[in-house]
Structure 1
Amino acid sequence: MNERRRHDRYSATPHLEVFERHSGIRLGSLADLSLEGFMLFCEQSQPADTVVECRLLLPQPLDGIDEIHLAADCLWSRPGAEGQSSWAGYQILDISEAHSAVLQKLMVD
C-alpha cells in the first residue's frame, strides 16, 4: 500500500467530539489525529470532497481554550456495514496557531 501521510497519526486523548461549527450538528468522534488531519468515527456517513468548519470540544480548558476551531476537507468517507458506524478522513485546511498548539498537546502515542 502506498503510504501518503507525511506525519504520524496519534490517538487523541481525551476522547473528543467534533461538531459543525455553525449548525452544531455532531459529525462524530475523533478516532486519530495528525498535524495534517484527523479521522472521524461517525454515526452517519459524511460527504467526501466537502469543506466543513469544525469545533472540537475539550472536556476541560487547555491553555485557556475550551474548544478548537478549524476548517477541514473531507477527503474520503467509508460507510460501515448495515447498522454500524462509518469512518471519514479529513485534511486540516485552516487553524489558528493557538488552536494548533492545543491540538498538538492532545496527541499521544
Structure 2
Amino acid sequence: MSDERRLHDRHSTDLDIEVFELHSHRRLGRVVDLSSDGFMLFSDTPLAADELVECRLVSEQVIEGVGEIQLVADCLWSRPGADGQHGWAGFHIIDLSEEQAAALDILLQHL
C-alpha cells in the first residue's frame, strides 16, 4: 500500500533556495524538495519538530520576477544528519497569502 498522505507531488530542486526565519533573519537551511503544500529542508543545525516558523524562501535565481516567498510553516518532523551536526526537517505550509501562493506556483513550474 502506498503512502497517500501528500496531496501534491514534491519536486526536487536544482534551484538554490535558502530558508531564513522572517524576523531574526537566521538561516534555517536549504530546500531539498518543494511542493505547493510543503518542503523538506537540509539544515545546518537540527530543528525542533512541532515548531511554527515564519520564514522566507529565497531563490538564488530570480524567476519571472520571483526571488522570495514569505510563508508560515509547521515543522512536522526533524532528524539529525549522519554527522550529528546537520539535520533534515519536513515542513507543511500552513499560511500563505494568495500573492505568495502565485509566486510559489511560478517557482514550482521551473523545478
Q: TM-score, normalised by structure 1?
A: 0.87
Q: Counterpart of 1:106 in 2: which secondary structure?
A: helix
Deviations 1:42-100 (A, max 9, x none): 11101000001000113354454432110000000011123553110000011111111
Matched residues, number: 109
CA contact (8 A) 1:14 1:106 kept: no
The more displaced of 26-35 and 60-69 is: 60-69
Q: Distance in 1 between matches of 2:8 and 2:103?
A: 17
Are 1:17 and 2:18 an aligned pair?
Answer: yes
Structure 1 runs not aligned, ≥5 long: none
Q: Distance in 2 between matches of 1:31 and 1:87?
A: 9
Q: Distance in 2 between matches of 1:43 and 1:77?
A: 12
- What corresponds to 1:48 in structure 2? 49
Q: Distance in 2 between matches of 1:101 and 1:73?
A: 20
Relative to 1, partners in 2 of residues 1:31 and 1:4: Cα closer, same or farther, differing over 3 Å?
Answer: same
CA RMSD of aligned residues (A): 1.9
The percentage of counterpart residues that share the same residue type is: 53
Q: TM-score, normalised by structure 2?
A: 0.86
| AA partner of residue 2 (structure 1) | D
Deviations 1:19-54 (A, max 9, x none): 000001110000001111000011110100000100
Structure 2 runs not aligned, ≥5 long: none
| AA partner of residue 44 (structure 1) | T
